[in-house]
Amino acid sequence: MAQLVKRAYKYRFYPTPEQAEQLVRTFGCVRLVYNKALEERTRAYKLEGRGVSYGESSAALTAWKKTPELAFLREVSSVPLQQTLRHLQAAFANFFARRAKHPTFKSKKRSRASAEYTRSGFRWREGRLTLAKMGAPLDIVWSRPLPEGTEPSTVTVSRDPSGRWFVSLLVEEKIAPLPPVEKSTGVDAGLTALLTLSCGEQIANPRHERRERRRLAKAQRALARKEKGSKNRDKARMRVARVYARIADRRRDYLHKVTTRLVRENQAIAVEDLAVRNMVKNSRLARAISDAGWRELRRMLEYKTAWYGRTLVVADRWFPSSKLCSVCGALQNDMPLSVREWTCACGAVHDREVNAAQNLLAAGLAES
């Protein structure tokens, strides 16, 4: 039975100079309001020992707009400003629930430039999107159509470090589950091969960052030679950002193709709960682990299996998938990373990754 899910469709668009100026001003106001509200919440807690609600922050925003110093906040749409206060409220809720760290201030250079518009902040007519405070619709490149009969409920406009503009449209869509299949698989993540399946197949690791390393190093050296604050430095920074964007785009596209294939071909998928945050502390492997994108791959599998009626089983991170013989179940005392193939006392010869994937599949099927 089809289920109704919220799904975001992301498109690139090309703003006019006037639209770009308005959006840049909006991004700056969003960042300012977020930081001032965070500062006020922190001050109230430290000096007065009390929390600040969203209603109080919203009232403070109204007062800020009436001051001569912050009167420019009235020049942009109020919707993204209210939304950033809601985001701050959610960040504190996650912090107090121990799901996240304490919210931090947004940096002009390091933070993602974005603004979120709810239904009252944009106009959607005949497939044309016009944001508040703008007279003309955005020039969107419709790389794929929105689902028939849907309209966006939330619009998020962003600009990445390489200067590209994107708009993300959140819609409610009915997604039908895929036909059931009998096949299931265990998946072992690695660096030599990105994934090893329990059937013995290995999915290659394209190493996108490594392929672009020479071009990236050349762009970074050019950036280091430029004088700080100069226009040439800004141009060099954009060249570095474009290389990073190329790497990220290729990695994301590859992970989408791999995870979609796994979800289509298997009814149940068993993976290991990898502590990626701890693993990247290894200075020798951090770059390769980050380039593999294990965390993003896990995230994609989670929502795609939920959408299409599949089962994702996550084995405990302490499960000895590599040390366990998949034939007789004997547990080896030690298994250093240098050992890629080993022989069990029962006579079975194991490839390290294939054996781990088979153990993950057995554990996943037992749990599910």
Q: What is the pLDDT of residues 300-336, one digit of tens each?
A: 999 999 999 999 999 988 888 888 888 888 888 888 8
Question: What's the burial of 202, exposed, middle or buried (CB within 10 Å: 0-12/13-18/19+)?
Answer: middle
Q: Where are the domains of the chain?
A: 3-175, 184-367
Task: Estimate to the nearest angstrom the gap between the alpha carbon of 188 and the chain centroid.
Answer: 21
Q: Contact, 26 vs 14, CB < 8 A?
A: no
Task: Let me know if 25 is exposed, middle or buried by CB neighbors in 10 A (0-12, 13-18, 19+).
Answer: middle
Please identify which residue in the block is written with the tokens 């039975």.
1
The Cα-based distances of 195 to 103, 163, 170, 200, 341 in angstroms read 35, 33, 31, 10, 17
Give the pLDDT band of residue 224 (cuts 50, 70, 90).
very high
Q: Give pLDDT, residue 120.
A: 94
**Closest to 106 (Cα-Cα) out of 96, 93, 115, 117:** 115
Cβ-contact 2, 175 below 8 angstroms: yes
Radius of gyration over alpha carbons of the chain, in Å? 25
Mean local confidence (pLDDT), 255-267: 96
pTM score over 0.85: yes
pLDDT tens for 138-159 read 999 999 999 988 999 999 999 9
Give the residue-averaged pLDDT of 94-101: 92
